[in-house]
Amino acid sequence: MLSYLANYEEYFGPLRLFGSITLRTMLAAVTALFVGFAIGPRLIRKFRELKFGHGYVDDRTAALGREYFDKKHTPTMGGLIIFFSVFASAVLWAAPNVWVVVSLFVYAALTAPGFRDDYLKVVHRNRHGISSWEKIAWQSLATLVALAVLLWHPLSATKIRELWVPFVKHAVISHLPWWALLTLIYLWIVGFSNAINLTDGLDGLAVGCTITVAIVFAIMAYLADHVFLSEYLLISHVPGTGELTIICGALIGGCMAFLWFNSHPAEVFMGDTGSLALGGLIGVMAFMIHQPLTLVIAGGVFVWELLSVVLQVGWFKYTKRRDGTGRRALLMAPIHHHFQKKGWPETKVVLRFWVLSLGCALASLATLKLR
String of DSSP letters for 265-313: SPSS--HHHHHHHHHHHHHHHHHHTT-HHHHHHHTHHHHHHHHHHHHHH
pLDDT of residue 119: 85
pLDDT of residue 72: 67
Residue 187 lies in a domain: yes
User: Is the Cα torsion angle 199, 101, 187, 364 positive or negative in sign?
Assistant: negative
Residue 363 lies in a domain: no
Residue 142 lies in a domain: yes
Q: Please, which residues bridge with residue 53 across strands?
A: 75
Q: Write the DSSP string, 77-95.
A: -THHHHHHHHHHHHHHHSP
Range of the domain at 96: 2-10+21-299
Residue 158's CB is within 10 A of a number of other CB atoms, namely: 11
Residue 211 near residue 259 (C-beta atoms within 8 A) = yes
Residue 203 near residue 266 (C-beta atoms within 8 A) = yes
Q: Which run of H or E residues covers position 44? A: helix 21-49
Residue 336 lies in a domain: no
pLDDT of residue 13: 67
Q: What would you measure as the largest C-alpha separation in the chain, in angstroms?
A: 80
- CA-closest candidate to residue 248, choices 103, 39, 145: 103
Q: What is the pTM of this model?
A: 0.91
Q: Please, which residues bridge with residue 163 across strands?
A: 173
Q: What is the pLDDT of residues 213-245, one digit of tens each?
A: 999 999 999 999 999 999 999 999 999 999 999
pLDDT of residue 328: 84
Residue 312 lies in a domain: no
Residue 142's CB is within 10 A of a number of other CB atoms, namely: 26
- Is the preceding omega at residue 14 within 30 degrees of 0, hence cis? no
Residue 112 lies in a domain: yes
Total domains, the chain: 1
Position 293: which residue type?
L
pLDDT of residue 201: 86
Residue 56 lies in a domain: yes
Q: pLDDT in tens for each of the 371 residues of the chain? A: 666 666 666 666 676 777 789 999 999 999 999 999 999 999 999 888 877 765 544 555 555 555 554 566 788 889 999 999 999 999 999 989 999 999 999 999 999 999 998 888 887 777 677 888 888 888 899 999 999 999 999 999 889 999 999 988 888 998 899 899 999 999 999 999 999 999 998 999 999 999 999 999 999 999 999 999 999 999 999 999 999 999 999 999 999 999 999 998 889 999 889 999 999 999 999 999 999 999 999 999 999 999 999 999 888 888 877 776 778 888 888 999 999 999 999 999 999 999 999 999 999 999 988 87
